[in-house]
Amino acid sequence: MIPYGRQDISEEDINAVVAVLNSDWLTQGPAVLQFETSVATLCGARHAVAVNSATSALHLACLALDLGPGDWLWTSPITFVASANCGRLCGAQVAFVDIDPATLNLSVKDLADKLAAARRADRLPKVVVPVHFAGQPCNMQEIGALADEYGFRIIEDASHAIGATYQGEPVGCGRYSDVTVFSFHPVKIITCGEGGMAVTNDEQLAARMSILRSHGITRDESIMRGANEGPWYYEQIDLGFNYRMTDLQAALGCSQLRRLRTFIDRRRELANRYDRLLAGLPLQPQKQESNGMSAWHLYIIQLDEALAGEGRRRVFDELRDAGVGVQVHYIPVHLQPYYRRQAVGAPADLPVAEAYYRRAITLPLFTSLEDAQQDAIVAALESAMR
């Protein structure tokens, strides 16, 4: 089976991890610091806080922004559940904004409409989480303008989008947001095995996240409440977690980061090839906006309405039977039993997301996918759609 995504591990990656195993530090140490510095530099952001997953990074970002009970977090329904769960983990309520049918990112128009209604109902969101879906940056300038108008904070879920650019600047530079989060899960653009990072230009948010990732403990005398009692002394000044990344993971991350450019170039090349090979078939690839450059985490097609629902299921099954490991990204989060069951959100009015879900298929896309394999995938798709 050709998977929909897979990691790309080199001899240098392996050597980098082995070097850490032979060193004095295994948990968070010098390699984590180096990885943070490298990602911050790549993004043009002041601070970076490495953690054990993007899920943890989203949670810490929400806590650092003081999201809590009585507050609302809004995000896209077409995302991984973690983009919404971070709100619930802080005790906030969650609501969803519909997607744009072509770019599949959060619809700025639906966001503006829902904000106007929320202002009248006096329940504006405290935090909005735009998701750079499949690696394509959201319209951050417009979302940022709405944040100024309505007073919410922005966490970019860039789990798919390390290395992408928006208006010529790297995703993560934070021009229009408070925090940006990356994932280093093996199917993402670069991997640490498991891992995540939050980048920000706000020193206080960075300090808060870095204390919370390690139990709420500090060894920094300048923020201790009492006197430093000696070299053994630390203080717990907040209630935190063990969300630390290991140096093993960070060494892998640093090594992978050196190949980020090559990875994205190959992904883009394959995506352009899919565009050419699929032209003329009754389906729509994700529309790419001219103001950004995707990191190409996923290549997604929407089948025509005639093949929605049961037709999609048939095409999907035939592709799997033909050894093509297609996927569907994602089941709309508001339809998950947890979000249906709990009165955790506003009643969902998300027709575009639901229509998208009945038509979507993710085709395999990863750096080591060969042109010949891609040709075979397209042939299998054509045959399944007949």
Ligand X SMILES: *Cc1c(COP(=O)(O)O)cnc(C)c1O
> Given candidates 7, 93, 139, 183, which one binds ligand X under the rule CB under 6 A?
183
> Given candidates 83, 136, 214, 286, which one binds ligand X under the rule CB under 6 A?
83
Q: Work out the burial of residue 2: count CB atoms within 10 Å of its CB; fewer than 13 is exposed, 13-18 middle, 19 or more buried.
A: buried
If binding is defined by CB under 6 A, does position 366 make contact with ligand X? Answer: no
CA torsion 357-360-365-370 (nearest 10°) is 160
Judged by CB under 6 A, the chain residues 99 through 158 that form the site for ligand X are: 131, 157
- Contact map string, positions 190 to 209, toward ligand X, x by CB under 6 A: ------x-------------
Smallest distance, ligand X to C-beta of residue 243, A: 11
Smallest distance, ligand X to C-beta of residue 185, A: 4
Kindly tell me which of 157 and 247 has the beta carbon lying closer to ligand X. Answer: 157
Say which of 114, 126, 188, 287 is annotated catalytic.
Answer: 188
Sign of CA dihedral 358, 125, 105, 116: positive
Strands 153-157, 127-129: pairing kind: parallel
Smallest distance, ligand X to C-beta of residue 170, A: 18
Kindly tell me which of 73 and 278 has the beta carbon lying closer to ligand X. Answer: 73
Smallest distance, ligand X to C-beta of residue 177, A: 15
Strands 299-303, 360-363: pairing kind: antiparallel
The whole-angstrom distance between residue 134's C-alpha and the CA centroid of its chain comes to 9
166 preceded by a cis bond (ω within 30 of 0): no
Q: CA 179, CA 162: separation in Å to the nearest integer?
A: 14
Kindly tell me which of 71 and 156 has the beta carbon lying closer to ligand X. Answer: 156
Q: Work out the burial of residue 218: count CB atoms within 10 Å of its CB; fewer than 13 is exposed, 13-18 middle, 19 or more buried.
A: buried
Q: CA 97, CA 100: separation in Å to the nearest integer?
A: 10
Task: Please check whether residue 75 is in contact with residue 129, taking contact to mean a CB–CB distance below 8 angstroms.
Answer: yes
> Is 114 one of the catalytic residues?
no
Kindly tell me which of 29 and 193 has the beta carbon lying closer to ligand X. Answer: 193
Q: CA 188, CA 164: separation in Å to the nearest integer?
A: 13
Smallest distance, ligand X to C-beta of residue 79, A: 5
Judged by CB under 6 A, the chain residues 246 through 275 that form the site for ligand X are: none
Judged by CB under 6 A, the chain residues 19 through 78 that form the site for ligand X are: 53-55
> Given candidates 47, 160, 213, 244, which one binds ligand X under the rule CB under 6 A?
160
Number of residues that bind ligand X (CB under 6 A): 14
Catalytic (active-site) positions: 188
- The residue ranges that bind ligand X (CB under 6 A) are 53-55, 79-80, 82-83, 131, 157, 159-160, 183, 185, 196
